Structure 1
Amino acid sequence: MFGVLGLGAVGICGIAVAALEPAGRFSWVNEGVAEIGARAGLTVQEIVVRGQHNTPRELIRAAIGIRNGDPLLAFSPEAARQRLESIAWIESAEVQRNLSGNITVDIHERRPFAIWQHQNDFAVVDREGRVVSADTLDAFGPLPLLVGVGAQKSGAAVYDLLARSPEVQQRTQALIFVSQRRWNLRLHNGTDVLLPEGHEDAAIARLAELQRTQALLDRPLVSIDMRLPDRLVVRQQPQPEAPPVNHARGRGRG
């Protein structure tokens, strides 16, 4: 207890001197306090990280920036928190430094929501559209596929509408954002469903009803255009042409 109280007094004196001396003196005093604390036994004894699932551990270690045995008072919890929150996977972090020598880090990670395809690039994004990984695309199980510029930021709302209509959702392979205005659904059988801009909820509900009553989504169609409010335009697959029939003529014997 005496060592801790004495060290606190040294720290207070250092701050008072720094207020009167140039910036170089401030740096020297802080380093001196850390060294005095280390000699008094105030070193890092244990670093506990909680909440890490997808964030690479080497990135966390680098962001914390301290190891067991380093001077405890040379460690800034606030600076470590800022470095941790600059990592794409980490939404927020809490860092605490205890005079017992323990440092605890609580991490709150972003959750992988979908795979975003932009041109020929693929990345895992969270619900807000922030890219969290571009390497391990298959490490999180099946995820929705969002395609197009801006799809990563707006796709969650359309996906939630699909979740209300499982007949449509289970047949949907990708959500395609067209001209950053409206959505197409690409079905597993290759059919494109053209949704109306701003009225996706009503269109998806109507599509689910047509599936229940007419199995529309299971038909071999090129597209289902729902952009007009008063009609549904269905484009069918072209029928293969019948092969030409050759009529062989018999030849008489001469």
Structure 2
Amino acid sequence: MRTAALLGAILLILFALFQDNPDQVASDVPMFDIRKVEVVGDLTYADRAALQRSYNQLLGRGLFNEPMAALKYIGEQPAWVESAKIRRVWPHTLRIEVHEHKPVAFWNNGKVITADGKIIAPATRPNLPLTRLSGPADTEAAVLDQFTLISQLLSTTSLRVAGLELEDRGAWNISFANGVSVKLGRDAVLERLQRFVAVYKSDLSGRIDRIASVDARYPHGVAVKWKAEQ
């Protein structure tokens, strides 16, 4: 009975102190130190071990000492990490839930465009069959939007976009996984692409290995350059 009463009194004192100065109590009382760090989440590209090492540096510190912003900052430094959700699990566990960026295309040299349109520059580019998008600085949103429209237009065909380029002067060029490249120019890009698709289906699909390039900038047709003409 006396033991229970004494324990209750100690807890009341700790509670009162914690209300007045939680950071000081958390650092002074051993029961509040960080003894375990958990990095959770489905990670394909982010380095879980590297994140674990970064957070392990906090072991032994007060569980409530580190500001939440600082804890999030540690987890969100790797390029592949979209967000890090921090949870303090009493009495001594720090749990970090990590969410990754989802890659949708490569951008220029070595960069990646994510599903939310952000450009990231990972230390190593993943070996994925993603479309290569390229263009001048600050045009990634426009190029990604154009790629989305083109993909929708081609959804009923066997053509898969391997690369889409926006030149400095505003002209568009597209290359397909089958090796065919098409110049689309600056204006009426989707209309010109539709014209190429029609010609491709009716006349070119069986002669892919002979095509060097296609120019779809003409108003009523396309010009095909055959490999023998090079």
Instruction: Using structure 2 for the length normalisation, give the TM-score.
Output: 0.75
Q: Secondary structure at the match of 1:214?
A: helix
Inter-partner Cα distance in structure 2 for 1:55 and 1:149: 28
Alignment of 1:68-79 (within 5 A): 68-79=59-70
User: Considering only CA atoms, is the larger Rg found in Structure 1 or Structure 2?
Assistant: 1
- The residue that corresponds to 2:83 in the other structure is 92
Determine which of 111, 135, 147 is the counterpart of 1:148.
Answer: 135
For residues 104-151 of structure 1, give each alpha carbon's deviation from its aligned partner in whole angstroms, at most 9, with x where no partner exists. 21222111122223xxx323332414124241431xx31111233346
1:55 matches 2:42: no
* Alignment coverage as a number of residue pairs: 217
Alignment of 1:24-63 (within 5 A): 30=23, 32-38=24-30, 41-51=31-41, 52-61=43-52
Of residues 124-133 and 232-241 in structure 1, the stretch that sits farther from structure 2 once superposed is 232-241
Inter-partner Cα distance in structure 1 for 2:194 and 2:12: 69
5+ unaligned residues in a row in structure 2: which ranges? Answer: 1-6
Task: Decide whether the 8 Å contact of 1:146 with 1:174 is kept in 2.
Answer: yes
Task: Decide whether the 8 Å contact of 1:223 with 1:236 is kept in 2.
Answer: yes
Change in CA separation of 1:90 and 1:240 when aligned onto 2, cut-off 3 Å: closer
Q: Secondary structure at the match of 2:37?
A: strand
- The residue that corresponds to 1:80 in the other structure is 71
Task: Decide whether the 8 Å contact of 2:84 with 2:98 is kept in 1.
Answer: yes
- The residue that corresponds to 1:225 in the other structure is 215
Shift of residue 191, structure 1, vs aligned partner: 4.1
Inter-partner Cα distance in structure 1 for 2:172 and 2:11: 63
Moved over 6 A (4+): none
Shift of residue 101, structure 1, vs aligned partner: 2.2
RMSD between aligned residues = 3.2
Shift of residue 48, structure 1, vs aligned partner: 2.4
Shift of residue 168, structure 1, vs aligned partner: 6.0
Instruction: Using structure 1 for the length normalisation, give the TM-score.
Output: 0.69
Task: Decide whether the 8 Å contact of 2:110 with 2:125 is kept in 1.
Answer: no
Percent of pairs with identical residues:
19
Tell me which amino acid in the other structure corresponds to 2:69. E
1:6 matches 2:21: no
Inter-partner Cα distance in structure 2 for 1:103 and 1:209: 59
